Amino acid sequence: MIDRRFLAAVGGFAFVAAWIGFGLGQALLCVLGAAICWLGAGIVEGKVDLGKLQRRLGGEEEAPSR
């Protein structure tokens, strides 16, 4: 398993490298693309529940479980 701090460091390096090489706008697009792919992979693997995510983003309160 890869350490999360290592992944954060690699991601930060990649963001700054893209920022320097392409500009801030394109670097932010790279981050947005990575986030979309991360979410898609989570959905495919079953680690992201779309219903729960939609309720959270919509501001709806979850019913307490009994």
C-alpha angle 38-22-30 in degrees, rounded to nearest 5: 10
- 62 falls in which pLDDT band (50, 70, 90)? low
pLDDT in tens, 10-58: 989 999 999 999 999 999 999 999 899 988 898 888 888 888 888 888 8
Q: Contact, 18 vs 30, CB < 8 A?
A: yes
What is the secondary structure of 36-63 as a DSSP string? HHHHHHHHHHT-S-HHHHHHHHHTPPPP
Q: Contact, 24 vs 18, CB < 8 A?
A: no
Instruction: State which H helix or E strand residue 18 sits in.
Output: helix 4-22
